[in-house]
Amino acid sequence: MLDDIDHRILRALQKSGRMSNAELSEQVNLSPSACHRRVQRLETDGYISAYVALLDARKMRVPTTVFVEITLQGQTDEVLDAFEKAVARIPDVLECHLMAGAADYILKVVAENTDDFARIHRQHLSRLPGVAQMQSSFALRTVFKTTALPV
């Protein structure tokens, strides 16, 4: 069970995962050794699953975000497994979500531009197994984006 101090630690680390333990302990008003123990426990218990660097999509030359809705021909375990294994191998797909609703899956894809997305579609997406229908929507502008979960 998480307490208020755990929540403060998690909020702080979501904003700046590279801060030192000394900075973190000061920010959450805890001794450095106690803070370190709590962070270790949060990692061991799986609340903190990884530390990452968030890259700038424009500088990485993939500023175009496309959401792709996919409907499969069927939903047997074999069809779902084959699709999920294949889509996980496409480097341009950042996220893949199994959905309830009209589409079976929604993918978040990044590309350099529309021509690059056409290449991704031709070389990868159109070859995914079990796909009956695909609809792509281009994001015009990102209004809000965060990786921080509500804590």
- Distance between CA atoms of 32 and 25, rounded to whole angstroms? 5
* Predicted local confidence at residue 22, as pLDDT: 98
Beta bridge partners of 137: 67
**Per-residue model confidence as pLDDT tens digits over 94-128:** 999 999 999 999 999 999 999 999 999 999 999 99
**What is the share, in percent, of the chain residues with pLDDT greater than 70?**
100
pTM of the model: 0.90
pLDDT reported for residue 144: 94
Instruction: Tell me yes or no: is domain 4-44 CATH 3.30.1490.110.
Output: no
* Interval 58-93: pLDDT, tens: 999 999 999 999 999 999 999 999 999 999 999 999
Token pair 């101090």 is found at: 5
**Looking at the domain 64-138, which fold is it?**
Alpha-Beta Plaits (3.30.70)
Q: How much is the pLDDT for 121?
A: 98
Residue indicated by tokens 């590309």: 111
User: Is 4-44's fold the same as 64-138's?
Assistant: no
**What is the reported pLDDT for 50?**
96
Sequence spans of domains, the chain: 4-44, 64-138
